[in-house]
Chains A and B, each alone.
With several copies, the nearest count.
Chain A
Amino acid sequence: MKIRYFAWLRERIGTAEEERDLPENLVTVADLIAWLSRIDEGYAYAFEQPETIRVAINQEHVEITQPLLDAKEIAFFPPMTGG
């Protein structure tokens, strides 16, 4: 799965995007966040407050409880500050 990071998530993790094979037991976005957080300190730091993270699957906003299903691309970012 393609995983993208923006703003301070990108900075903390140290990459803008990556391709990862996910273990089959990851059901929801929250499961993926928990799994990523175990990779290293950068990920743990980026995801330390999951309630501040916004998520988009295939460029659509989703909740953290959303099932991953066969999502092609998931993106993590802080609350948006457009305009």
Chain B
Amino acid sequence: MSAFKVRVQEENFNCEEETKSLSANRKDIGAIVSFTGLCRDENQTLAALELEHFPGMAEKQISFYCQQAVERWPLTGLTVIHRFGKIPAGEQIVLVIACSAHRRAAFEAADFLMDFLKTKAPFWKKEHFLDGQTGGWVEAKQEDEEDTKRWQ
């Protein structure tokens, strides 16, 4: 397979629909791994994250890493959706679905893509708190940078 689907959008997505569009009427898929990233608020202070992105470059970067994934693993389907705009706590931000005949390829491809989305896709997150205050920009984590090195 060399095809994959990349969408950068403001509106929400539906994991079930996206999964169906990859797997309906097919019998060559043995494993589907889906990753959903949510807007998390552990301290009960966050109202939303505002995701700023670089239109055009975001799609290009995500597509670049999708291309790497389909060359590296024998995938039978791959979809990546990344939202931008203001996303309330608890809502979905990102979706990666990887399909393959075998589970290892599907797990690794989804894991790989998430590592590179974290550090190489041009998105930035600003915090909006429940008390109406605007927080800072979420800082990049060294840990995420380290994670990408696993794939070298």
Residues of A within 8 A of B (CB): 4, 6-8, 10, 56, 59, 61, 75, 77-83
Of chain A, the residue at the smallest CB distance from B60 is A59
Q: State how many residues of chain B have any CB contact under 8 Å with chain A.
A: 28
A6-B52 in contact (CB<8A): yes
A82-B94 in contact (CB<8A): yes
Chain B residues within an 8 Å CB radius of A80: 118-124, 140
Shortest CB distance A61–B (Å): 8
Contact status of A75 and B117, CB under 8 A, knowing A7-B124, A81-B124 = no
Chain B residues within an 8 Å CB radius of A10: 52
Residues of B within 8 A of A (CB): 37, 52-54, 56-58, 60, 82, 93-94, 103, 114, 117-126, 136-140
Pick the contact of B137: A4, A7, A61, A83 (CB < 8 A). Answer: A7
Shortest CB distance A83–B (Å): 4
Q: How far is the CA of A59 from the CA of B62 in the complex (A)?
A: 12
Pick the contact of B54: A77, A79, A83 (CB < 8 A). Answer: A77
Shortest CB distance B117–A (Å): 4
B118-A82 in contact (CB<8A): yes
Chain B residues within an 8 Å CB radius of A59: 54, 56-57, 60
What are 13 residue pairs bridging A and B, where the CB atoms are less than 8 Å apart in the complex?
Answer: A4-B54, A7-B137, A56-B57, A59-B60, A77-B122, A81-B118, A81-B137, A82-B53, A82-B94, A82-B118, A82-B123, A83-B93, A83-B94
B37-A78 in contact (CB<8A): no
A82-B82 in contact (CB<8A): yes
B140-A81 in contact (CB<8A): yes
